[in-house]
């Protein structure tokens, strides 16, 4: 019985450690490091997550975000921001996202509307590639270019498929 409890507790801690933290000082006035600010000047990232699969996300310089999520028919529009050190996450710099209240994150089991933050180091661990600009026009679309598969892919392959 104790062993089962420890297994469940351990798995819960592991999963929680990989998930973004909801409502974590997203309004913090602590600025991120100069290095982090320089790295996040807008652009599009291709990320891979074991639980989500591939995600492509455009981050505009003015704080808007557009997420192309596997299986979705629409691009999720939202907001993003960088914050500095946060004792709740334990990271020096954090990236925070906010999507509409009508959205749902199947990993965290949370509905949108609140800011979700994660350490830059965790976020960067999922980045496969990054390009300047918005090559898929995600920031101006409602519908996705095509339904994104979960499998790991490259911008080159996605651009070929779009054409």
- The model's pLDDT over 9-46, given as tens digits with 9 standing for 90+, comes to 333 333 334 445 444 556 666 888 888 888 888 899 99
**pLDDT confidence of residue 38:** 86
Average pLDDT in the 104-120 region?
A: 85
Average pLDDT in the 117-144 region?
A: 94
Average pLDDT in the 114-125 region?
A: 89
Q: Report which of residues 116 and 47 the model is more confident about.
A: 47
User: CA-to-CA distance for 58 and 41, rounded, in angstroms?
Assistant: 11
User: CB–CB of 139/66 below 8 Å?
Assistant: yes
Percentage above 90 pLDDT, the chain? 52
Of 7-16, 118-127, 135-144, 148-157, the poorest mean pLDDT is in 7-16
State the total domains in the chain: 1
**pLDDT confidence of residue 89:** 66
User: CA-to-CA distance for 48 and 27, rounded, in angstroms?
Assistant: 27
User: CB–CB of 116/105 below 8 Å?
Assistant: yes
**pLDDT confidence of residue 163:** 55
Q: Report which of residues 6 and 30 the model is more confident about.
A: 30
Opening angle at CA 48, ends 41 and 22, nearest 5: 70
pTM above 0.85, yes or no: no
Averaging pLDDT over each range in 78-82, 83-87, 90-94, which range is the top one? Answer: 78-82
CA distances from 26 to 65, 82, 117, 119 (A): 16, 8, 7, 12
Q: Which domain holds residue 68?
A: 2-162
User: CB–CB of 143/67 below 8 Å?
Assistant: no
Count of residues making up the chain:
163
Percentage above 70 pLDDT, the chain? 80
| Number of H-type helices and E-type strands within the chain | 4, 10
Neighbours of 20 (CB within 10 A): 21
**pLDDT confidence of residue 9:** 31
């Amino acid at each position: 019985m104790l062993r089962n409890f420890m297994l469940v507790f351990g798995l819960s801690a592991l999963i929680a450690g990989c998930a973004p933290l909801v409502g974590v000082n997203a309004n913090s006035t602590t600025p991120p490091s100069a290095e982090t600010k320089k790295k996040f000047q807008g652009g599009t990232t291709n990320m891979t997550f074991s639980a989500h699969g591939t995600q492509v996300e455009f981050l505009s310089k003015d704080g808007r975000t557009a997420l192309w999520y596997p299986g979705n028919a629409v691009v999720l529009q939202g907001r993003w921001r960088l914050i500095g050190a946060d004792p709740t996450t334990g990271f020096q710099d954090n990236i925070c996202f906010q999507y509409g209240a009508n959205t749902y994150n199947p990993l965290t089991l949370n509905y949108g509307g609140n800011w979700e933050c994660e350490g830059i180091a965790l976020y960067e661990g999922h980045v496969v590639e990054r390009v300047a600009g918005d090559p898929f026009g995600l920031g101006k679309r409602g519908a996705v270019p095509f339904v994104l598969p979960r499998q790991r892919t490259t911008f080159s392959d996605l651009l070929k498929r779009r054409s």
